[in-house]
């Protein structure tokens, strides 16, 4: 569990506004064809006048100004948007960049996914009422779609949890997005407001799979999330840009790993992960990071900032695929030297090696990597970071030391062994979920299996070194995760593939090879 963010803001509406909402509920009930005795259940605007202007004319003018920017979707159909939810004076420019991609477009419904800042509950709560309101008007809930979505997973429920007032405060994260939708979209549409009560892989996956089963081309999914909170400007920008890079690569496994580890931050991390999983299954694989700012860019205070990002996921386009990743001979030699120096320092002195920051930008990129140690041709240790937790040169520093001292299959390396050790480094590509096991290419792809909280990985050369066919390799992968050997066939399991640039000290001057191995 990543935890529930308990830093929400909001305020109690005054008595006049509450009275107006009650009257609106009666009128809306009649408009919706409900019995007069049953007034519509309407969620009032709870943060109007604080997070955004409370006056309708001022709000419309403000949002229209924020939307007055060129769209970046090239006429393609947007399936998912990611937008921030701070006060408009702070994050409005970034939110405007996101919603400008759908300005003038028509959708039948908009599913809005937001985190819960005020209360915790172990499911995704679809508002069980009839409508949400803002100063710009009323947005009816698509109750038929909501019912189908709730039926698709026991972790998705009709509930007022997260939508209701809590100790005089209302959840702002979902409401903040609605005025943008009201001014950007053309024609009438309904909404499906969802508050995600906890942030963890199981809940995000359940919601993402349910959305992929239920949504169609007339459905827009909006993710409400700010990024890192209360770091210095430079630290926040580094964290947030790493997260946005992984989002842009569609690597939701890296997003989940790093959010859980606290390396990256997003208060709407659960909704973001769910939407990425849905987009993956819906074929929305043209992902465009539109804009990044943090509050320091607005206020000038760079000591403690909050990050904001805008992302669009498009469907029906020919998304450009990243080229093959590689390193040159100098970069490979530098990483091998770091690996050897790290092992020798940690074995002899039990201290971490502190390498100089490399001149190569590629060595400073955050990437997963493994270091394999062999002695007289026999494995002596192999450990890695699967996801990009640190800059590559520091990842190699860390995992080399761990391979020598922390691989539980072997006793720690001793000083008198150091001269006999041979080093191999495997630098990993981003992870991509496979839709069919037939996509797995033995000897080219490493494979990771994830089901619930259990996870296991083989780097690419394992299958060929062990002379396994695909089925045997997947059975062994499941057993390694502590699961039944056929667990990879379970619809609740996810399989991911990746490639690797693998090089040893003998190969450092050459081009290496496309492979990698978890031994």
**Which positions ≥6 away from 236 have C-beta within 8 Å?**
227, 228, 294, 296, 305, 306, 307
CATH number for the domain harbouring residue 476: 3.30.700.20
Q: Does residue 147 sit in the same domain as residue 212? A: yes
Which pLDDT band, with edges at 50, 70 and 90, does 180 fall under? very high
Q: Does residue 308 sit in the same domain as residue 354? A: no
The whole-number pLDDT of residue 517 equals 35
Across 302-330, average pLDDT: 83
Q: Does residue 164 sit in the same domain as residue 292? A: yes
Is 187 a domain residue? yes
Q: Does residue 374 sit in the same domain as residue 263? A: no
17: pLDDT strictly greater than 50: no
Which pLDDT band, with edges at 50, 70 and 90, does 10 fall under? very low
**Which positions ≥6 away from 313 have C-beta within 8 Å?**
78, 79, 80, 81, 275, 276, 279, 284, 285, 286, 287
Q: Does residue 216 sit in the same domain as residue 287? A: yes
**Which positions ≥6 away from 320 have C-beta within 8 Å?**
none
Q: Are strands 42-43 and 421-428 parallel, antiparallel or unpaired?
A: unpaired
Residue 168 lies in domain: 45-315
Considering 73-77, 313-317, 459-463, 465-469, the range whose residues carry the highest mean pLDDT is 465-469
The whole-number pLDDT of residue 376 equals 93
237: pLDDT strictly greater than 70: yes
Considering 4-13, 313-322, 415-424, the range whose residues carry the highest mean pLDDT is 415-424
14: pLDDT strictly greater than 60: no
Q: Are strands 219-224 and 77-83 parallel, antiparallel or unpaired?
A: parallel
Kindly calculate the radius of gyration of the chain based on its CA atoms and give it in whole angstroms: 25
Is 36 a domain residue? no
Range scoring the smallest mean pLDDT among 29-43, 133-147, 186-200, 298-312: 29-43
Across 469-491, average pLDDT: 97
Token pair 């919601």 in the structure block, residue:
207
Is 338 a domain residue? yes
Which of 292, 315, 338 is the C-terminal boundary of a domain?
Answer: 315
Is 16 a domain residue? no
The whole-number pLDDT of residue 1 equals 40
Which pLDDT band, with edges at 50, 70 and 90, does 76 fall under? confident
Is 8 a domain residue? no
Which of 263, 280, 315 is the C-terminal boundary of a domain?
Answer: 315
Query: Alpha-carbon distance 517 to 519, whole Å?
Result: 6
The whole-number pLDDT of residue 324 equals 66
Q: Does residue 136 sit in the same domain as residue 263? A: yes
pTM, to two decimals: 0.88
Structure tokens at 249: 């690569």
Chain-centroid distance of CA 433 in Å reads 14
Query: Alpha-carbon distance 272 to 223, whole Å?
Result: 6
The whole-number pLDDT of residue 92 equals 98
Q: Are strands 42-43 and 131-134 parallel, antiparallel or unpaired?
A: parallel
Which of 263, 286, 315 is the C-terminal boundary of a domain?
Answer: 315
**Which positions ≥6 away from 465 have C-beta within 8 Å?**
517
Percent of the chain surpassing pLDDT 70: 88
Is 348 a domain residue? yes
The whole-number pLDDT of residue 325 equals 77
HSE-up (13 A, CA, CB side) for residue 165: 14
Query: Alpha-carbon distance 371 to 373, whole Å?
Result: 7
Is 37 a domain residue? no
CB distance 135 to 56 below 8 Å: yes
Query: Alpha-carbon distance 459 to 443, whole Å?
Result: 9
Q: Does residue 446 sit in the same domain as residue 506? A: yes
CATH number for the domain harbouring residue 268: 3.40.830.10
What are the angstrom distances between the C-alpha of 330 and each of 333, 336, 341, 362, 511?
5, 10, 16, 11, 10
Which pLDDT band, with edges at 50, 70 and 90, does 7 fall under? very low
Token pair 């909001």 in the structure block, residue:
10
32: pLDDT strictly greater than 60: no
| Domains: count for the chain | 2
The whole-number pLDDT of residue 28 equals 55
The whole-number pLDDT of residue 519 equals 43
Burial 156-172 (b: 16+ CB within 10 A, else e): bbbbebbbbbbeebbbb
Q: 305 pairs with which residues across the strands?
A: 231
Is 428 a domain residue? yes
Which pLDDT band, with edges at 50, 70 and 90, does 316 fall under? confident
40: pLDDT strictly greater than 80: yes
Q: Please, is 14 exposed, middle or buried when counting C-beta atoms within 10 Å of its C-beta (0-12, 13-18, 19+)?
A: exposed
11: pLDDT strictly greater than 80: no
Which pLDDT band, with edges at 50, 70 and 90, does 9 fall under? very low
For the chain, give the number of residues.
519
Across 339-365, average pLDDT: 95
Q: Does residue 269 sit in the same domain as residue 133? A: yes
Which pLDDT band, with edges at 50, 70 and 90, does 33 fall under? low
Q: Does residue 212 sit in the same domain as residue 355? A: no
CB distance 335 to 363 below 8 Å: yes
30: pLDDT strictly greater than 80: no
Mean pLDDT, rounded, of the chain: 90
Across 190-210, average pLDDT: 97
Which pLDDT band, with edges at 50, 70 and 90, does 29 fall under? low
> Residue 226: which of 95, 84, 112, 89 has the closest Cα?
84
Q: Does residue 311 sit in the same domain as residue 339? A: no
Q: Does residue 304 sit in the same domain as residue 333? A: no
Q: Does residue 256 sit in the same domain as residue 303? A: yes
The whole-number pLDDT of residue 461 equals 83
């Amino acid at each position: 569990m990543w935890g529930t963010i308990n830093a929400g803001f909001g305020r109690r509406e005054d008595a006049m506004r509450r009275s107006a909402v009650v009257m609106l509920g009666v009128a809306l009930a009649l408009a919706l064809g409900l019995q007069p005795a049953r007034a519509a259940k309407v969620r009032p605007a709870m943060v109007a006048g604080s997070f955004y202007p409370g006056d309708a004319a001022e709000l419309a003018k403000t949002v229209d100004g924020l939307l007055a920017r060129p769209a970046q979707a090239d006429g393609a159909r947007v399936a998912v948007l990611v937008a921030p939810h701070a006060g408009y004076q702070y994050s409005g420019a970034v939110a405007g960049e996101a919603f400008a991609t759908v300005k003038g477009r028509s959708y039948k419904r908009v599913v809005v996914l937001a985190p819960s800042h005020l209360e915790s509950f172990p499911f995704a709560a679809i508002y069980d009422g009839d409508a949400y309101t803002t100063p710009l008007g009323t947005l009816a809930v698509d109750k038929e779609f909501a019912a189908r979505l709730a039926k698709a997973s026991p972790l998705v429920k009709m509930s007022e949890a997260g939508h209701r007032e809590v100790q005089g405060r209302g959840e702002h994260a979902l409401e903040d997005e609605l005025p943008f939708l009201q001014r950007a979209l053309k024609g009438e549409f309904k909404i499906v407001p969802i508050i995600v009560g906890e942030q963890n892989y199981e809940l995000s996956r359940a919601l993402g799979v349910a959305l992929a089963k239920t949504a169609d081309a007339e459905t827009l999914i909006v993710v409400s999330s700010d990024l890192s909170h209360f770091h210095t400007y430079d630290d926040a920008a580094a964290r947030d840009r790493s997260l946005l890079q992984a989002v842009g690569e569609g690597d939701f496994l890296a997003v989940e790993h790093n959010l859980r580890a606290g390396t990256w931050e997003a208060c709407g991390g659960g909704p973001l992960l769910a939407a990425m999983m849905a987009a993956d299954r819906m074929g929305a694989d043209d992902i465009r990071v539109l804009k990044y700012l943090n509050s320091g860019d607005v206020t000038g205070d760079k000591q403690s900032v909050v990050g904001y990002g805008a992302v669009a996921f498009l469907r029906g386009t020919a998304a450009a695929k990243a080229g093959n990743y590689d390193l040159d001979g100098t970069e490979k030699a530098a990483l091998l030297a770091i690996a050897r120096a790290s092992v020798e320092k940690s074995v002899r002195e039990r201290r971490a090696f502190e390498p100089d920051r490399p001149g190569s930008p590629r060595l400073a990129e955050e990437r997963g990597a493994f270091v394999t140690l062999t002695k007289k041709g026999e494995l002596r240790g192999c450990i890695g970071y699967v996801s990009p937790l640190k800059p590559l040169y520091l990842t190699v520093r860390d995992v080399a030391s761990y391979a020598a001292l922390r691989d539980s299959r072997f006793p720690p390396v001793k000083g008198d062994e150091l001269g006999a050790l041979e080093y191999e480094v495997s630098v990993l590509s981003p992870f991509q979920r496979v839709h069919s096991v037939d996509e797995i290419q033995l000897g080219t792809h490493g494979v990771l299996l994830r089901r619930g909280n259990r996870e296991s990985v083989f780097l690419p050369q394992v299958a060929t070194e062990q002379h396994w066919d695909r089925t045997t390799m997947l059975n062994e992968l499941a057993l390694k995760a502590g699961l039944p050997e056929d667990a990879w066939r379970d619809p609740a399991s996810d399989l991911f593939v990746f490639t690797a640039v693998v090089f040893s000290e003998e190969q450092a001057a050459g081009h290496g090879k496309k492979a990698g191995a978890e031994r």
